[in-house]
Homo-oligomer: A and B are copies of this chain.
């Protein structure tokens, strides 16, 4: 997509008449074709990956997962391009500033206008000598390496186009019941764990760099290694999701790990931004300054909190709109509004200089928790399926790209010592994230996390899209290029080797899998023995819920859900009597007149409802539903499976 734009820039103005213009047109057409070819390469690569995944699933091959496959295909194609393709020739000329008064500014201009005479070909002189061409600013030139655009994209597309749907879908498909139940533990893991891991890796890597300066080809500051620590700490939510789905572990543990891996992406993104800011704005010489450190810490918390607020507010606004209009009479309009509101969350956060990806995550969680209940059945299915597809395509694109860019991205720098220590530190960082915090959590946790399960957690700490995107964002110095190469290799290794070996390890560690969860079954039976279930659930809640989660849960049930959805009890029941006029205003007729079916509904139980209705379809459809249930990618499948 990004290429389109670059090409489009070239395309903009065509005109007739002169030889130069026609040659220019031909050149623009050529650029457009090359760009289309690049996109076609990735499209073909994805199609090939999909067909191979199908074959593997069909033949029950378990030693290679789909992301691993995408990476491997990417590597192969990247190598082919590197060693067979001809270089993309791009001409450039250097210009010197002449008029020093114009240049007496601290910033280079946005555009250069070149008076270009052209070769005196068959066109008349008058025609040609008048031409002026515009050139737009791109960035500083790295002297050492020629810029090469072969099958590569601008790194910013990851943050603006590829990551938002992935992260939004992670939030939207979160099993919120279990997420909120484990809120305290998830926050501990994600915020404390990730930050600890980042600083530990940063410190260790800096130690290595200072101990072995002779073996390293570039110079690393503490900020560099800290940035590396921040970007290598987050684990990939999607690969973990697939692994734990196969595991069929305790749903609470599943929610814990999935919630952590979703949140630690957000934490790492904001943390790396704060580290960058520290280097750019607060500190001049790279040495430690307390005030600068505190400012960065403030940045970290304020940006994270404000992004969270923007995201959840936009989710709540969407919930309010869908509650108080009868938009669900027109499912297409409803779905379109849902998509637009979610996308505008990203844009609003970016306009406000916050982190769009983090806002989108919390927007996704709120959309699932509140808005989802107000949507029509068609919009529920449509939004789930739309974002599932976007997520799948984005994820596979990024992993293919990691593979291809290993060979074609010009700013790689191989440094064996840094790479080796990077691998070691990444493992140590993951261990620090898993073992001490599991011990801490086990102190106050009913189903304790067993030792073998902890090994599994450690082993499942694959690195993925976020680490790569953060690493490729900044490759201006040799140190940063070394970090990119190390990160790419760690991602490739963990996804292909660790991801592939998971099934063997599951058996080896004797981790019980394929167990049906009791809560899950209770949930599935909710509508059959509702009274009975309510009693049970109360007990479970008291026993299991963390303190924070309990307070939030009560507030949510009494005020947020009645305000934002059609659920009961209504605000008339929960607000004090003197607020009655306001409460009446905020309560819909639908809310007052509905039957008991919608009580306490949220995505989790709604999905169950949808499945239930799907199963009542005619025989033709039942076949496809069964197939649907076998798809390990599908969050709905686990519910169907747990019921059979």
Interface residues of A, Cβ cutoff 8 Å to B: 1-2, 4-16, 19-25, 27, 29, 32-33, 36-37, 39-40, 43-44, 46-47, 50-51, 53-54, 57-58, 90-99, 102-119, 121, 131-143, 147, 154-157, 160-161, 276, 279-281, 321, 325-333, 335-337, 339-341, 343-344, 347-348, 350-351, 353, 376-378, 381-382, 385-386, 388-389, 392-393, 396, 474-477, 597, 609, 612-613, 616-618, 620-621, 624, 627-628, 630-631, 633-634
* Cβ of A291 to closest chain B Cβ, rounded Å: 18
The smallest beta-carbon distance between A556 and chain B, in angstroms, is 24
Is there contact, CB below 8 Å, between B13 and A393? no
Q: Which of B12, B108, B281 contacts A138 (CB 8 A)?
A: B12
Compute how far the CA of A468 lies from the CA of B200 in the bound complex, rounded to whole angstroms: 57
Given A58-B329, A140-B134, residue A344 in contact with residue B47 (CB < 8 A): yes
Contacting pair A110 B91 (CB below 8 A): yes
8 chain-A/chain-B pairs, Cβ below 8 angstroms: A4-B160, A14-B276, A36-B350, A103-B116, A133-B140, A135-B137, A332-B633, A377-B624
Which B residues are CB-close (under 8 A) to A40?
344, 347-348, 351
Chain B residues with Cβ below 8 Å from A326 are: 54, 58
Name A631's closest neighbour in chain B (CB-CB): B330
Residues of B within 8 A of A24 (CB): 107-108
Contact present for A104 and B91 (CB under 8 Å): no
Is the Cβ of A6 less than 8 Å from the Cβ of B136? yes
Q: Which of B47, B54, B57, B107 contacts A27 (CB 8 A)?
A: B107
Partner of A156, one of B4, B109, B160: B4
A379–chain B nearest beta-carbon distance, Å: 9
A337 surroundings in chain B (CB, below 8 A):
47, 50-51
Q: How far is the CA of A13 from the CA of B5 in the complex (A)?
A: 18
Given A134-B92, A618-B616: A139 in contact with B13 (beta carbons within 8 A):
yes
Partner of A321 from the list B39, B51, B131, B618 (CB cut-off 8 Å) is B51
Set B29, B118, B134, B142: member contacting A13, Cβ < 8 A? B142
Other CB < 8 Å A-B pairs besides A103-B116, A386-B386, 16 of them?
A: A1-B5, A2-B4, A8-B154, A9-B154, A10-B138, A36-B347, A50-B336, A51-B337, A57-B330, A91-B111, A94-B114, A94-B115, A134-B140, A330-B631, A332-B389, A382-B386
Q: Are B131 and A140 in contact (CB under 8 A)?
A: yes
Contact partner, A617, options B37, B477, B617, Cβ 8 Å: B617
Chain B residue at minimum C-beta to C-beta distance from A12: B139
Other-chain residue from B39, B117, B609, B627 in contact with A103 (beta carbon distance below 8 A): B117
B108 & A114 in contact (Cβ 8 Å cutoff)? yes
Chain B neighbourhood of A119, CB < 8 A: 104-106
Residues of B contacting A36 in the complex (Cβ-Cβ under 8 angstroms): 347, 350-351
Closest Cβ neighbor of A33 among chain B residues? B351
Query: Looking at the complex, which one of B90, B97, B329, B634 makes contact with A630 (CB distance below 8 Å)?
Result: B329
What residues of B have a CB within 8 angstroms of the CB of A37 in the complex? 347, 351
Q: Which residues of B contact A343 (CB under 8 A)?
A: 43
Q: How far is the CA of A331 from the CA of B616 in the complex (A)?
A: 19
Instruction: Select from chain B the residue with minimum beta-carbon distance to A386.
Output: B386
Contact A111 B90 (CB under 8 A): yes
Q: Which residues of B contact A97 (CB under 8 A)?
A: 114-117
Which B residues touch A344, using CB under 8 A?
40, 43-44, 47
Contact A139 B9, beta carbon cutoff 8 Å: yes
Rounded to whole Å, the gap between the CB of A174 and the closest CB of chain B is: 18
Once A94-B113, A628-B378 are accepted as A-B contacts, the answer to whether A7 and B135 lie under 8 Å apart by CB is no
Cα distance, A15 to B328, chains bound together (Å): 49
Q: A2-B5, A382-B389 in contact; A13/B111 too (CB < 8 A)?
A: no
Are B476 and A43 touching (Cβ within 8 A)? no
Q: In the complex, are the beta carbons of B92 and A25 less than 8 A apart?
A: no
**Could you say which residues of chain B place their CB within 8 Å of the CB of A14?**
276, 474, 476
Cβ–Cβ < 8 Å partners of A39 in chain B: 347
Query: Looking at the complex, which one of B140, B330, B347, B392 makes contact with A54 (CB distance below 8 Å)?
Result: B330
